[in-house]
Amino acid sequence: MSRSNETYSASGRVLRHAPTPRVLYTPEVHTPRTRQERERAAAIANGMRSGSNTPYGNYGSPNSNAVNGGFNGAFYPSQPFNNSYNNNINNPINNSFPNNSTIPIPVLTPANNSQAFASKRITKPSANEMGAGQSGVDYMKRITMSLQSNLPAELDFALGALVQVSFANAELFKLKIYADMTRALIAKVLTSPLLLPDQTKSLSSDDNILDDILEDDSQAAEAQKVLEAFLVLRNASLDPENALVLVHHVDFCQLVLRGLQLPEKSSSTRGELRTYCVEIAESLSLYMAPLSAQDPYVIAFVNLILTTDDKSILIYALHALTRFMIRDRNPIALSTQFSALLIDRILALLLLRDESILVPVLDFLLHYTKLPANVSFLVSRSAQTAQLVSTHLCRLLKYNVEVLTTPLDVIRLPRRTKKPAPATHPTIPPVMLAELLKLDEPHRATMWMRTSYESDPDGEVTQISLWKAYESQFETYAREQGKRLLPAVDFIKNVTAAFKDSAAMVVNFPDGQRKFIIKGIRPRECAVSLQELNNPESVEPATTTMSGNTSAAPDIPPSPVWFSAVSVLQNMATSRPGKELLNPHTAALVAVGIHNPVIFPGVVMILETLSQSPLEGPVEE
């Protein structure tokens, strides 16, 4: 600064200019661009995409003179600088802000323009195919269509799905709702080579023709599909509604009958198929009513009982024959036409110690013995058969009972007399006394009487002795605590609160003297704690059985064998041959009824029936 520009004050001092103000940095505030700015940025972006060699596209380079007022090739200004331009450049305030002459170029990314990138994807042809976006048919309809298609892959899917559905959701698997599927399943099993009529008749127990039939894998796979179809129908037949639907398909019933006629000893595949047919036939027997013992189903089940060693098949066959007898409407009863071999086989099964077999056997005998003619047939067979019936039916009345209890010898004891009452009340332990002292009157007096006395219809105590005992027990503690005892009159009145059956009485003697007593209580031999009075849970004494066993027998769950045997004996007792057979066993029936109290009422009914006049004619159902 030259001295010509300096300013002097009156005192001669030089005045200095104000210092350059400090400008703090302020971050750039981004404001929305205008329409012109956006168009300019888009034009620059398009120029770059068009393949221009220069980074500025069609707008030229910094060395170009196309723009008026720009810079020349030597980077000199086309016009001389003026002071205002120089001042703007040297202004520290302007230099503190960044130069915004450079325009940012937008870069397209999936984050800022997802629609542009999504439109570049190749559209799949399947998106416009016919049926796209449709849910299609429901699950069961899909299975039905697969069964009807007869395509191997579709059949595998349908049968596998039906096996799972019929097992997991059996209550929702209704054949009457899915009639098309039922017909498709039955059509599948009807085409099975395993149950062809000519092959079924020619098979014997020693033949192994199945190995020749299923030579290759394709036939083995076809047999597996048939087994799965039978398994689905077996699961469905367990529902009575589904069994009613299947019994109306005559062709299917004939197919099941051929399955019942398969030999006992056969290959694993045919054996599995035979088991399915037996279980299906047992379910269908609920709606069958054979007219005679010559019905093919009756013959098939009888042969199964006589020849099979399979426990499950034996039980199913017994259930089926029992249902046939229940639904028998023929005047000539079906049960009277059963062969003697079948009856002997049924009676022999009574010797087994297996409840799962005994229950269906007794159910069969229950309906078989409803007719007196059948009872006469049992008795007239032989003395050994009659003894078998009477002995083992009485034995089954205590099935699984005799092994759990051990009768002891009866010991006669002299009659015990009642022990006399103690002369005074018992001494209360300190712990029990401390609990009583925590109580307030009159509750303390009531609980003290209940701990020291007990109810006795023949007992009595004098009022004065009862009051003196109470006073001597609590007088010292009442004086220390500063509390008064219950007055004598209120104490005597409170006795009825402790013992409801007690009463204050006055006894008059002939000499004119009177005695004031409390009737209905007596002193205890030992005091009882408050916990025992509040929770009277005493140990029950051991029960003494009629057989002399003084140890309590363990709880035995009721067995259906007991009640079925009682019902069979009751049926036999209504006919004359049955009475003649059971009368010698009345003592054994009484002993069994005493030994097993659960069936004692049933035994009493049998004995009452034996004492009545027998029925001569057959019982009309």
Residues 6+ apart with CB under 8 A from 143: 157, 158, 161, 162, 181
| pLDDT the model gives residue 536 | 58
| pLDDT the model gives residue 236 | 92
Report pLDDT digits (tens) over 3-58. Answer: 445 545 455 566 666 777 777 767 665 666 677 777 777 777 665 555 444 444 44
Report pLDDT digits (tens) over 469-486. Answer: 888 888 888 888 777 788
| Most confidently modeled range among 72-81, 188-197, 369-378 | 369-378
Q: What is the dihedral of CA 571, 573, 577, 579, to 10 degrees?
A: 170
| Strands 453-462 and 503-508, bridge-based pairing | unpaired
> Taking Cα atoms as reference points, which of 291, 318, 305, 191 lies closest to residue 251?
191
Report pLDDT digits (tens) over 299-354. Answer: 999 999 999 988 999 999 999 999 988 877 665 577 778 888 898 898 889 888 88
Please state the rounded mean pLDDT for residues 496-507.
Answer: 85
| pLDDT the model gives residue 291 | 77
Report pLDDT digits (tens) over 564-616. Answer: 888 888 888 888 888 888 888 888 888 888 888 888 888 888 888 888 865 54
Q: Tokens at residue 363, please?
A: 């159910």
- 59 band by pLDDT with thresholds 50, 70 and 90: very low
| Most confidently modeled range among 240-254, 428-442, 496-510 | 240-254
Q: What region does 266 belong to: left with phi over 0, alpha with psi -120 to 50, or beta?
A: beta
| pLDDT the model gives residue 113 | 81
Which has the higher per-residue pLDDT, 33 or 518? Answer: 518
190 vs 187, 257, 290, CA distance in Å? 5, 12, 24
User: Phi and psi (nearest 5°) for 582?
Assistant: -95, -20
Please state the rounded mean pLDDT for residues 365-375.
Answer: 87
| pLDDT the model gives residue 393 | 83
Which helix (H) or strand (E) segment is 274 a member of?
helix 268-284
| Strands 453-462 and 514-523, bridge-based pairing | antiparallel
Domain boundaries, the chain: 137-243, 430-534
Can you tell me the distance from the alpha carbon of 111 to that of 115, in angstroms, rounded to the nearest whole number? 10
Can you tell me the distance from the alpha carbon of 61 to that of 55, in angstroms, rounded to the nearest whole number? 8
User: Phi and psi (nearest 5°) for 571?
Assistant: -65, -40
Q: What angle do CA 140, 142, 148 make, to 5 degrees?
A: 105
Q: Tokens at residue 483, please?
A: 């509390």
Strands (E), 211-279: none
pLDDT for 83 beyond 50: no
Can you tell me the distance from the alpha carbon of 160 to that of 577, in angstroms, rounded to the nearest whole number? 57
| Most confidently modeled range among 14-28, 66-80, 415-429 | 415-429
pLDDT for 197 beyond 50: no
- 244 band by pLDDT with thresholds 50, 70 and 90: very high
Is 266:310 a contact under the CB 8 Å cutoff? no
Q: Which amino acid is at 223?
A: A
- 554 band by pLDDT with thresholds 50, 70 and 90: very low
Kindly report the CATH number that applies to the domain delimited by 430-534.
1.10.10.10
| pLDDT the model gives residue 318 | 94
pTM score of the predicted model: 0.55
Q: At what angle do helices 217-237 and 268-284 cross, to 10 degrees?
A: 20
Can you tell me the distance from the alpha carbon of 263 to that of 281, in angstroms, rounded to the nearest whole number? 16
DSSP-derived letter for residue 507 is E
466 vs 183, 484, 509, CA distance in Å? 92, 18, 21
| Most confidently modeled range among 61-65, 407-411, 513-517 | 513-517
Can you tell me the distance from the alpha carbon of 322 to that of 320, in angstroms, rounded to the nearest whole number? 5
Residues 6+ apart with CB under 8 A from 437: 444, 474, 477, 481
| pLDDT the model gives residue 58 | 44
Is 368:374 a contact under the CB 8 Å cutoff? yes
Residues 6+ apart with CB under 8 A from 593: 397, 599, 600, 602, 603, 604
Can you tell me the distance from the alpha carbon of 185 to that of 161, in angstroms, rounded to the nearest whole number? 13
584 vs 252, 388, 458, CA distance in Å? 52, 14, 50
Q: Tokens at residue 618, please?
A: 């057959």
Which range, of 100-104, 292-296, 303-307, 481-485, averages the lowest pLDDT?
100-104
Chain centroid to CA 594: 39
| pLDDT the model gives residue 69 | 41
pLDDT for 81 beyond 80: no
Residue carrying structure tokens 């899909």: 142
Can you tell me the distance from the alpha carbon of 260 to that of 205, in angstroms, rounded to the nearest whole number? 14
- 246 band by pLDDT with thresholds 50, 70 and 90: very high
| Most confidently modeled range among 191-205, 504-518, 535-549 | 504-518
Which has the higher per-residue pLDDT, 163 or 268? Answer: 163
Can you tell me the distance from the alpha carbon of 182 to that of 152, in angstroms, rounded to the nearest whole number? 19
As a whole-number percent, the residues of the chain with pLDDT over 90 amount to 15
Please state the rounded mean pLDDT for residues 261-288.
Answer: 87
DSSP-derived letter for residue 329 is -
pLDDT for 94 beyond 80: no
Q: At what angle do helices 240-247 and 217-237 cross, to 10 degrees?
A: 120
